[in-house]
Amino acid sequence: MPLASSPSRRRIGLLGGSFNPAHGGHREISLKALDRLNLDAVWWLVTPGNPLKDPDIYAAYEKRLHQARAVADHADIVVSDFEHRRDLQYTVDTLEQIKDANPNVGLVWLLGADSLVNFHRWKDWRRIAELAPIAVFNRPGYGEAALASEAGETLAPFRVQPEDGDLLSREPPAWIYFDDTDNPLSSTALRNAKP
C-alpha cells in the first residue's frame, strides 16, 4: 500500500469503517470525493472492529472485505485490509501509520455527517483533525446535528467553504462540509432489514 516511491505527490482520500455491509452510500461519497477534491484514489479502510460498536454485530472480516470490493467496483476506489494487517483499532493510529508509510502523499479523511455527530467520542479526535484535512459529506437527517456537535463546534473556526480553494493544500486542522449528498443508505438499516 505504500506510495512513497511515487515521483509526484498523490492525493488520497481515506474512508474508514466497518463496511458491515458496504453499500452505495459509501461508493457515492467516494465518487464525490474523487471529483470534488481532485483525488487520485479513495482507500476504503475496512476495520477489524470499531471500539464504539458491539463486536457481535460484525459479519466475518473476509466477508466484509469481499463485499466491499464488490460494491466499490471502481478503478480509483481501493479496498484495503491495512488495519487488519497491522492490528489497528483506532483511526488516530491508522492515520499516523499511513502518513509515516506514505510521506509524499496528500491525505484527506472522509466522514459521513453521522460520524461527525459522534466524532468527539473517537480516541484522540483532536489529533486526527491535526493529522489530515477532513471532508464531511451530508447524510439525511444529520446535517444540523453534525454542525452543532461538539466536534463540529470545536472545529468551526477551521471550516473552509468549497469556493475557498483546495482543501488538501491547507495545513490541518481544516475541514469542509458538502451538504449536497443525501444517500439514505446505512449499514445499520441494511443489517436490520435482513430476515
Distance (Å, rounded) from C-alpha 60 to C-alpha 107?
29
**Which domains does the chain show, CATH number per domain?**
12-193 (3.40.50.620)
Q: Which long-range contacts (CB under 8 A, 24 or more apart) does 56-65 make?
A: 57/20, 57/191, 58/18, 58/20, 59/20, 59/21, 64/18, 64/19, 64/20, 64/21, 64/22, 65/19
pLDDT digits over 75-92, tens only? 999 999 999 999 999 999
pLDDT digits over 167-186, tens only? 999 999 999 999 887 755 44
52: pLDDT confidence band, cut at 50, 70 and 90?
A: low
Q: 106: which 3 cell numbers?
A: 496528500
Judge if pTM exceeds 0.85: yes
Q: What pLDDT shows up at residue 190?
A: 41
The DSSP secondary structure of 62-111, one letter per residue, reads HHHHHHHHHHH-STTEEEE-HHHHTT---HHHHHHHHHHH-TTEEEEEEE
Q: Which of 1-5, 23-27, 46-50 holds the top average pLDDT? A: 23-27
Q: Tell which wins on pLDDT, 3 or 40.
A: 40
Q: Residue 176, SS3? A: strand
Q: Worst-scoring range by mean pLDDT, 36-40, 57-61, 67-71?
A: 57-61
Q: Residue 15, SS3? A: strand
8 pLDDT above the threshold of 70: no
Q: What pLDDT shows up at residue 181?
A: 75
